[in-house]
Amino acid sequence: KILITGSLGQLGKGLGRLYRKKYGQESVIMSDILKPSKEILNEGRYIYADVLDFKNLQEIVVNCEVDWLIHFSALLSAIGENNISLAVRLNIEGFHNVLELSKQYKLKLFVPSTIGAFGPTSPRNPTPDLTIQRPRTIYGVSKVHAELMGEYFHQKFGLDFRSLRFPGVISADTAPGGGTTDYACQIFHDALKTGHHVCFLKKDTKLPMIYVDDCLRSIEEFLTVPDEKLKLRTYNINAMSFTPEDLAEKIKKYIPELRVTYKPDNRQDIADSWPMEFDDSGARKDWGWKHHYDLEELVKVMLKYLAPIYGRTLKNIN
Ligand code: VAH
């Protein structure tokens, strides 16, 4: 059985749907501390789970015969900087609970990492799998901690710990969750709703990005790679890099009236400390990772999904 923590978030929702389809509704237990939508409740198992409550988690692992644990619960980069003590508790203490249970019950454990696990002293153009990691956000520090602890428990106790470092994930069906890359989700809604987007990053801020379907497929593929093929427990995953200006230009092909006002805020400092190009050659070589969506495809799939929701029909979008 697969337990997903933080399953109502940007990645959890999509992975829950993918795994329910792939392994059957009874094999997937979506969990979070919020009330789920009717759709999520009706399409399979959902349970309240607070990763800060060890006993609660332990009961679920035992009673629901969990053997895979996908741990998404965390505060992302920007929101973590505004609530450091909660980020420490959730991203570190919560992770320790999950790590301890995975060891105790021999679970396969997946924890997402991020471009945010690197900092200003890491090489940024490109950033390889193995290099200096001195991130400047509590989110990044907690993700480096998770990578190191997971790797240690793998060596010491044989824990099947796996992690992928993701770029900014672009998705249409979940509201952005306090990340620094979330302008790239919001701009699509603003373009369709008002034609005006206020971007919290400078127009030339280049960041690695990935469309959510590619991100979720990378997890699905990575978790079924035979252990002997893995040279690392944590791999970079990439699809493309672009700036807010690049993205706005592509959207203007379909919504020419789009106007962007650039008003950098505290998230600019975070973005300036992150990779600009992300080297995922390790994942491509060791277990055959490849992305499908580039910037053109990303813009089309996002607008095709969102336009009807805003009552818009766009010309020349095939
Ligand atoms: C964030 N979207 O901005 C997340 C991610 C690549 C960054 O970890 O915090």
**Dihedral sign computed on CA atoms, order 46, 101, 129, 141:** positive
Contact of 103 with 95, CB cutoff 8 Å: no
Closest residue by CA, ligand 1 atom 6: 168
**What is the model's pLDDT at position 174?**
80
What's the rounded mean pLDDT across residues 162-180?
Answer: 91
| Ligand 1 atom 5: residue of nearest CA | 168
10 Å CB burial of residue 203 (0-12, 13-18, 19+) is middle
Residue 176 has pLDDT above 90, yes or no: no
Is 254 part of the annotated catalytic residue set? no
Closest CA to 204 of 247, 251, 258, 266: 247
What is residue 173's predicted lDDT score, i.e. its pLDDT? Answer: 86
d(CA 222, CA 290): 11
Ligand 1 contact, 179 CB (< 6 A):
yes
Distance CA 60, CA 68 (A): 12
- CA–CA distance from 39 to each of 100, 153, 249 (Å)? 32, 37, 35
Structure tokens at 310: 């805003």
**Whose alpha carbon is nearest atom 4 of ligand 1?**
179
Task: Please give the pLDDT value at position 261.
Answer: 98
| Residue corresponding to tokens 């929101």 | 79
pLDDT digits (tens, 9 = 90+) for 195-251: 999 999 999 999 999 999 999 999 999 999 999 999 999 999 999 999 999 999 999
Q: Which atom of ligand 1 is nearest to the CA of 167?
A: 6
> In sequence order, what are the residues at sequence separation of 6 or more whose Cβ sits closer than 8 angstroms to the Cβ of residue 155?
none
pLDDT at 24: 97
pLDDT of residue 316: 85
State the ipTM, two decimals: 0.93
How far, in Å, from the CA of 63 to the mean position of ligand 1?
33
- How far is CA 291 from its chain centroid? 15
Percent of the chain as helix, strand, coil, to the nearest 5:
45, 15, 40
- The Cα 248–Cα 203 span in angstroms is 9
Show contacts of 307-313: CB within 8 Å, 24+ apart: 307/192, 309/192, 310/189, 310/192, 310/193, 312/192
Contact 237, 223 (CB under 8 A): no
What end-to-end distance do the CA atoms of the chain give, in Å? 40
pLDDT at 61: 98
Which pLDDT score is estimated for 317?
A: 87
Q: Is the CB of 244 under 6 A from ligand 1?
A: no
The predicted-structure confidence for 124-158, as pLDDT tens digits, reads as follows 999 999 999 999 999 999 999 999 999 999 999 99
Contact 211, 298 (CB under 8 A): yes
